A and B are shown apart, each in its own frame.
Chain A
Amino acid sequence: ETGVTQTPRHLVMGMTNKKSLKCEQHLGHNAMYWYKQSAKKPLELMFVYSLEERVENNSVPSRFSPECPNSSHLFLHLHTLQPEDSALYLCASSQAASGDSYEQYFGPGTRLTVT
């Protein structure tokens, strides 16, 4: 499947680094999501964007900063991360984020390791 792509697939960064994760969807969807998946807390919803506006922010630390320049692209800017932020970061998209529930299409994820 190439409907939702994520880059990079793997990232190792130090606690003082600044990096960005990129997600792109080719499905014509209007909603995009960031999830964190770790062994301790599977599939934690971080951010939701609908038509490029942030509609949900689940108490995520400010060291994670999302950006949605258009309905096809979503970024997650990272700075001053902690080792406990090491996880798989998944991007997803759906037709919409309101009204009827729509299935989410997930990207392959970025495996992040913070050293």
Chain B
Amino acid sequence: GQQVMQIPQYQHVQEGEDFTTYCNSSTTLSNIQWYKQRPGGHPVFLIQLVKSGEVKKQKRLTFQFGEAKKNSSLHITATQTTDVGTYFCAARALGGSYIPTFGRGTSLIVHP
């Protein structure tokens, strides 16, 4: 089945530093979604990217979809303690199942 590799698995940052998580696929993707799960919580949808090279912003969060539609990134500028959590990508392969495959997630730990 389709595999989605997400790196890094963990990331420790000092508050105010930037953070980036990457999602990579060996196959071309139809679209990719990003979710955030706070500690003790459940995944919450953040955004969906569909177009090649697409860039979307939500305040301090920037989401990118690669030109080849095989990778994506989530970048957080000037992290805050409220950014703590695990960030998951969920990717749907082009021509594949309509059900997206989740990456293993990147856990972000922000030190005040």
> What distance in Å separates the Cβ of A93 from its nearest Cβ neighbour in chain B?
12
A75 within 8 A of B: no
Which of B17-25, B62-70, B98-106 has 4 or more CB atoms under 8 Å from chain A?
B98-106
Contact status A101-B48, CB under 8 Å:
yes
The interface residues of chain B lying within 8 Å CB-to-CB of A42 are 86, 88, 102, 104-105
The interface residues of chain A lying within 8 Å CB-to-CB of B44 are 106
Question: Which residues of chain B in 82-112 are interfacial with respect to chain A, using CB atoms and an 8 Å cutoff?
Answer: 86, 88, 90, 92, 97-102, 104-105
A87 within 8 A of B: no
> What distance in Å separates the Cβ of B2 from its nearest Cβ neighbour in chain A?
12
The interface residues of chain A lying within 8 Å CB-to-CB of B102 are 42-43, 45
Residues of B within 8 A of A (CB-CB), count = 22
Within 8 Å by CB of B45, from A43, A56, A104, lies A104
* Beta-carbon nearest neighbor of B105 in chain A: A42
Contact status A105-B30, CB under 8 Å:
no
The interface residues of chain A lying within 8 Å CB-to-CB of B59 are none
Within 8 Å by CB of A48, from B33, B48, B99, B105, lies B99
Majority SS at the chain A contact face: loop
B73 within 8 A of A: no
Contact status B48-A108, CB under 8 Å:
no
Contact status A106-B42, CB under 8 Å:
yes
Question: Which residues of chain A in 58-115 are interfacial with respect to chain B, using CB atoms and an 8 Å cutoff?
Answer: 90, 92, 97-99, 101, 103-109
Residue of B31, B90, B102 contacting most chain A CB atoms (<10 Å):
B102
The interface residues of chain B lying within 8 Å CB-to-CB of A108 are 41-42
B43 within 8 A of A: yes
Contact status B42-A107, CB under 8 Å:
yes
Contact status B31-A101, CB under 8 Å:
yes
13 contacts across the A-B interface (CB closer than 8 A): A33-B99, A42-B105, A43-B43, A43-B105, A45-B102, A56-B99, A90-B42, A90-B43, A98-B98, A101-B33, A104-B35, A105-B45, A106-B44
Interface set of B (CB-CB < 8 Å, partner A): 30-31, 33, 35, 41-45, 48, 86, 88, 90, 92, 97-102, 104-105
